[in-house]
Structure 1
Amino acid sequence: MSGLNVTQLKNEIVRPTLNYLGLGGEAAVNLLTGTALAESDATYLRQIGGPALGLWQMEPATHDDCWTNFLRFPAQSRLATKMQQIAGVSAPTADIMIHNLRYACAMARIKYYRDSASLPDASDAAGMAQYHKRVFNSPLGAANALGNIPDFKAAIAA
C-alpha cells in the first residue's frame, strides 16, 4: 500500500512534469509512476539504510552523473534549462529530490531517457518491470522485476 494516492501522483506530478520536459506519453507516465511504487512504495523520501533520495530513490551519484555526463552538454541545453526551472536553482543538487517531487520525477525520467532502447508499451507491466530493473536499478540492485510487476500494473490502472 502506497503512501500517496497513485492516481494523484500520476496525474498531478508525473504527467505534468514529463509533459513540461517534452518527454511524456502514456508509456513514460506509467513507467515513472510504477518506478516510484517499485522504489519507495510512493512513501519514502530517503532510503532506509542507504543513500537514495526522493520517491524515485535516486542515489546522489546517479543524480550527479546525469548532470555531469548528459545534461551539461550543449545538445541537452533545453532539457537542462527545464530541469533548473523545475528545481528552482541554477545548480541543482541531489538533496532537492527529497522535497521537490517534480524534480525527483524529472531526474528519474532523465535516467531512463539516456537509455537507447525504446520504452515498453504503455500497458506492458512486465516489460516495464524488466526495463526498470535493467535501466534504473541495475543488475546489482535489489529490485526484482517479477516481484515489481504489481507496482507497474497499479501505475497503468491509476
Structure 2
Amino acid sequence: MGIAASELSQHVIRPTLIYLGRHNASAEALLLGAAASQSALGWALDDRRGHGLYRIDARRHQLLWDRHLARDPELASQVRGLASQHAFLAAPHLELTVNLRYATAIAWMLVEAEQLPLPAADDLLGLARLWRQVFQPQGRLRDFTDAWSRCVGTLPQVA
C-alpha cells in the first residue's frame, strides 16, 4: 500500500486545505477517498489514466488552469506557490506525481470548479457520488466505498 491514510490526511490533505482556506471535514474526507479510489493512497502514482494520488490527466490539469484558476489571480498564485519553482515550468504535469501538496490543491480546485454541494464527512455514499462526478464519471459508487474500506477503514468522526 502507499501512504497511511491518517498520515496523508494529517501531513498533506489537511495542511493543504488549511493553506487554501478551504478546510472542513467533508473536503478532507472527499480528498482522502479520492486518493484511495484513484491510486490506493499512492500505491500507483502514474499511469495512462492520469498523474499522482488523484490520477489527474494533463488535459484536465491544463483546463483547470485555463478556465478556473486564471480567473482568480490571487488563488492561482497561492496554488502555484505549492509547486516547485523550476520543475513546474519544465514539466507542470509531473508536479501532480511528485508534489503531494500541489496535487492535493489541484484535486480540490477540480472539486471547487464543479460548484457542487459537499455531503457530510460521514456520508460515504454522498462522498462517492461527488467523487464520481468530479474524478471518475464512469466509476461505480462501489469502487469508492470499496477503496475506502481497503485503504482508510473507518469513517471520519464528525463533531
TM over 0.5: yes
Between stretches 92-101 and 27-36, larger displacement belongs to 92-101
Which residue does 1:57 correspond to in 2?
55
Which residue does 1:132 correspond to in 2?
131
Percent identity of paired positions between Structure 1 and Structure 2: 26
Under a length normalisation based on structure 1, what TM-score does the superposition of the two structures give? 0.87
Q: State the Cα distance separating 1:157 from its structure 2 match.
A: 4.0
Q: 1:113-134, CA deviations, whole angstroms, 9 ceiling, x for partnerless residues? A: 0112211111111110111001
Q: State the Cα distance separating 1:51 from its structure 2 match.
A: 4.2
* 1:69 paired residue among 61, 67, 70: 67
Under a length normalisation based on structure 2, what TM-score does the superposition of the two structures give? 0.86
Q: Structure 2 matches for 1:47-126, cutoff 5 A?
A: 47=47, 50-73=48-71, 76-89=72-85, 93-126=92-125
Where in structure 2 are there 5+ consecutive unaligned residues? none
Question: Are 1:36 and 2:32 an aligned pair?
Answer: no
Aligned partner of residue 156 in structure 1, secondary structure? coil
Question: Are 1:10 and 2:9 an aligned pair?
Answer: yes
Aligned partner of residue 51 in structure 2, secondary structure? coil
Contact 2:35/2:53 (8 A) holds in 1: yes
- Number of residue pairs matched by the alignment: 150
The runs of at least 4 aligned residues of structure 1 exceeding 2 Å deviation read 88-92, 150-158
Contact 2:84/2:95 (8 A) holds in 1: no
Give the letter aligned to residue 44 of structure 1. A
Aligned partner of residue 104 in structure 2, secondary structure? helix
Question: Are 1:45 and 2:45 an aligned pair?
Answer: yes
In structure 2, C-alpha distance between the alignment counterparts of 1:119 and 1:13, rounded to whole Å = 20
